[in-house]
Structure 1
Amino acid sequence: MYGKKLKKAALVGTGLLGGSVAATILGRGAVNRVHDASLKVLMNDLYDENIWELVSAATRLGLQNVVETNLRSSEGKVIERPMGSPKKFPGLEDLLFTISQMYNLPIPLEQTTDSSVTIGKKSEKPFTISMPIMIAPMAYGVALSKKAKIALAKGSAMAGTGTNTGEGPFLPEERQAAKYLIYQFHRGDWGKTPGIMRQCDAIEIQLGQGSISGVGHIFHSKDMDKELRTAFGFPKGRDAVAHSMQPGVSSPKDLKDLVDRLRDVGGGIPIGVKMAAGKFLEKDLEIICNAGVDFIALEGAEAATKASPPILQDDFGVPMIFAIYRAARWLEKNNYKNQVSLIASGKMRTPGDILKACALGADACYIGTIALFAMSHTQVLKALPFEPPTQVVWYHGKYQNKFNIEEGAKYLNQFLRSCKEEINHGIKALGKTSLQDVGLNELMATSEMVSKGCNLPMVYEPYG
């Protein structure tokens, strides 16, 4: 009986295999006929009738420009591109580190390294993060879901670092989950109460953003549900307006008065600014530092946001590599280096990027887009392949309700800890024991522009 079953199973298996082979042969034949016919058309049609004309034109114009041209034609209004510019700016990939061998000796394998950073060095209540990485300001409601914000806060806390509220409504659950929470004193007219600010570990006055410059924007009431209106404290029908300027700040004195007032409200916690880097960077820094800030979060042209006009992302601002170099040199020259913490922001992707920014003069870095990818990890499969991965983290995302907070926090924590370990390996490879000892002397340039702009030797230049 058992032998008959095996024989029957073998016959069935042989039949299935034979069918599969036949289907494969027939399938290959069909694919071959379609392939040959398609190539024959491409090889024989004149260009004005040839579909390859689209490929040729798109290569010349750029596929991004072709798609966005059609979006502009379709909408007839400003298009809003998420996640930053695809444009390639001169960047950190144009830098390489030196290696310690004999002239500079390596440090022993068992030697520990220190990559911790103190924010608000001279404030009454500075705080120390375990690594030079914090989570960038990303707004609840305006951009991210409540679950995403809580996961970012929780994951950053597990890794011993901080996160930023962004310009959305204050989220008590985020405060509860975060170890260090920076409150963004945005350009809108919601929140910003003493009761909120006293719960936080630092206050960041938003002057501008790298991806949206000093341009204001409106979050329309029609896009708010009841939960979000309640969080904003707005009645139905009222829009949330983020002004182009910080309300009440139109002069250097106004900024100083605001910094002093917020320092008093916060009871001595660090007070800083968030700004975009432009042509007049040094003049901006002079006004800001004279106002008595404890930290500066400086965004380069590569910075991203939930949505902003492509022209502001592609055609405005100073690339981050030059912004950080210029800012750090100005702070050092004017004796602010040991008083004001410098936080770099804009297209930070890897541990190498972070360490290079710190070598240029930053104390720490914000990460945004890459933190979302790390946190979402395999949860993006809930949206793919029919929807973008961000649909699991946006407030209005189709799959945001399926996002798992605990998983998100776990994977963000693991990503951050992995980055910290790599950064410590990099510090060791430079023959150093502390992040504070890593500087310009450890860098070389592969680009003539970067070499000149950051006063660094080219990799091909002999030493000595």
Structure 2
Amino acid sequence: MLLSWMMMKMLDPMADEAMAKMFTEDYPDNPFLMVTVMEKLSPRAMFEAAMRAEVGKELTRPLGSPIVLSPWDKILLNPRQLFQLPNPDYTQVDTKTIIGPTAKKPLQLDIPIMITGMSYGGSLSLLIKMALAKGAAMVGTSTNTGESAVTNEERDAAKYLIGQYHRGGQLSGQEQLSRLDAIEIQLGQGAWGGAVDEPMPATMIGRHLRQAWHLEEGQGNTIYARMPGKQTPQDYIKMVNSMKEQYDVPVGVKIAGTDYIEYELAVIAQTKADYIVVDGSEGGTAAANPTLQDSVGLPTFHTLIRTIDWLQDNNLRDRFSVIVTGGMTTPGHFLKAMALGADAVYIGTIALMAAMHVQALKTLPQAPPSQLALYTGKMTDKLDVDIAANHLANFLKSCTVEMQLAAQAVGKQALKDLDRSDLVAVENDLAEFAGIRYAGSHRQPQRQESIEKSTYNQPHNLQLQ
């Protein structure tokens, strides 16, 4: 109490002086000027300008762009209550999904929420990668190596492991690829604006990572803008088809969202790939610079709709499973993405937040929680893998139940049955683009026989009169 009283006595005159100055001085000598400057420039622009002035090189901003342009909150699901009854038991709503159903060994998952590619070394520490793999395994879904290699630690912790055959070459060859449950040919990433060079100096590569990547002492690593040796789209088509011939598991292609998305899909359509991953600009990353994150690419929402529309228009939708990723954070986002046409969603940043949970307090207030998870973090050894895995599993379980309840409300027996008829938009232009109803337009009442036919999923002891 005495210390608190003394502090207040010391701070009170200072506060009085500052307030008097702000109320009386003209702007050039008024500290309130900083408030108006921040309103004009934004705090983010000011702080990033200061960082650029300090380091004199591109910034590396973890976890992705703060700019979210996907209008997920402007579309809503349509519940049924009377003309069509809700399902009698939400626990019976099927949550399973299959990636690459025509592959010799399809990837069959218990839930349609998957952990996206976040690399050991390029992004995350080995401990958090193990936690993500273990947590995903606990609920019957997959994790992803990202732009790295298959490590024994991640493979042992994962039930289903998807590996990225990527532009750096660390995951390649029979010894690595034969250990995977699906192969993802990574040609771009939303938060990196597509595909650019990503150098990593030798000083940032520790002994364990160097062994995993088969690098010599003092050797750095670069993920290139294009696959080494590939000069034309035809080269990529041959590469995908060769991979399909060699392996029985699903083979997919991952690209970043772009206004050229239809052109990119037209190339993929010439391959024998089993699935397509489209990554919107709102996705996370460990180190992309702010310009690539904020100003390059296409939002996730627009990327997904244009992907599904193009595939349907060209009678190709049944040929490819579609996974969408990029900034989705809630069960509502996941459901809406599936209703728009996705077979499954990838999550990254929100999975990290769920996994770290209260363990993030181990870094605060001295450092941000990212220091607990990033490969370059200073506190990665403080992460308890089992606790993190359990928290991730709980998050995924919670999301799944909420998705089942929402599916029950809209009268669906399986999450995969959701479609655009289950959605409505509050903006007319948005509704027109997405091919869904506008909330401001009226429906015409159905005739009685149509209503009776629409109650197919009601309990046998309930009949409309």
2:214 corresponds, among 220, 233, 236, to 233
Shift of 1:231: 1.6
The 5 A counterparts of 1:35-46 are: 35-46=15-26
Structure 1 SS opposite 2:438: coil
Match of 1:171 in 2: 151
Distance in 2 separating the partners of 1:169 and 1:126: 22
Q: Does 1:436 align with 2:413?
A: no
1:84 corresponds, among 60, 64, 78, to 64
Distance in 1 separating the partners of 2:431 and 2:154: 42
1:393-421 CA distance string (max 9 Å, x none)? 11221111111111111111111111111
When residues 307 and 24 of structure 1 are mapped into structure 2, their CA distance, relative to the original with a 3 A threshold, is closer
TM-score with structure 2 setting the length: 0.91
2:88 corresponds, among 85, 88, 108, to 108
When residues 449 and 303 of structure 1 are mapped into structure 2, their CA distance, relative to the original with a 3 A threshold, is farther
Structure 2 SS opposite 1:211: helix
Distance in 1 separating the partners of 2:258 and 2:382: 40
Structure 1 SS opposite 2:92: coil
2:52 corresponds, among 63, 72, 87, to 72
Match of 2:233 in 1: 252
What percentage of aligned pairs have identical amino acids?
35
Distance in 1 separating the partners of 2:334 and 2:365: 31
Distance in 2 separating the partners of 1:250 and 1:75: 35
1:231-289 CA distance string (max 9 Å, x none)? 211112222111101223333332222122212332x1100011001111112111102
Q: Does 1:128 align with 2:115?
A: no
- 8 Å CA contact 1:80–1:309 kept in 2: the answer is yes
2:182 corresponds, among 194, 199, 202, to 202
In structure 2, runs of 5+ residues without a counterpart are: 445-465
Deviates more, 1:254-263 or 1:422-431: 254-263
Shift of 1:24: 6.3
When residues 76 and 37 of structure 1 are mapped into structure 2, their CA distance, relative to the original with a 3 A threshold, is same
When residues 447 and 83 of structure 1 are mapped into structure 2, their CA distance, relative to the original with a 3 A threshold, is farther
When residues 140 and 27 of structure 1 are mapped into structure 2, their CA distance, relative to the original with a 3 A threshold, is closer
Match of 2:277 in 1: 297
TM-score with structure 1 setting the length: 0.92
When residues 452 and 26 of structure 1 are mapped into structure 2, their CA distance, relative to the original with a 3 A threshold, is same
Distance in 2 separating the partners of 1:381 and 1:110: 36
- 8 Å CA contact 2:190–2:256 kept in 1: the answer is yes
When residues 387 and 110 of structure 1 are mapped into structure 2, their CA distance, relative to the original with a 3 A threshold, is closer
Shift of 1:23: 6.7
Aligned length: 443
- 8 Å CA contact 1:91–1:320 kept in 2: the answer is no
Shift of 1:190: 2.6
In structure 1, runs of 5+ residues without a counterpart are: 1-19
Q: Does 1:243 align with 2:224?
A: yes
When residues 330 and 39 of structure 1 are mapped into structure 2, their CA distance, relative to the original with a 3 A threshold, is same
Structure 2 SS opposite 1:366: strand
Distance in 1 separating the partners of 2:4 and 2:201: 55
Match of 1:15 in 2: none
Q: Does 1:160 align with 2:140?
A: yes
- 8 Å CA contact 2:163–2:171 kept in 1: the answer is no
Match of 1:405 in 2: 385
Distance in 2 separating the partners of 1:390 and 1:449: 38
- 8 Å CA contact 1:189–1:241 kept in 2: the answer is no
Deviates more, 1:360-369 or 1:73-82: 73-82
Distance in 2 separating the partners of 1:223 and 1:111: 48
Q: Does 1:273 align with 2:253?
A: yes
Distance in 2 separating the partners of 1:203 and 1:249: 19
RMSD: 1.7
Shift of 1:463: 2.3
Q: Does 1:334 align with 2:314?
A: yes
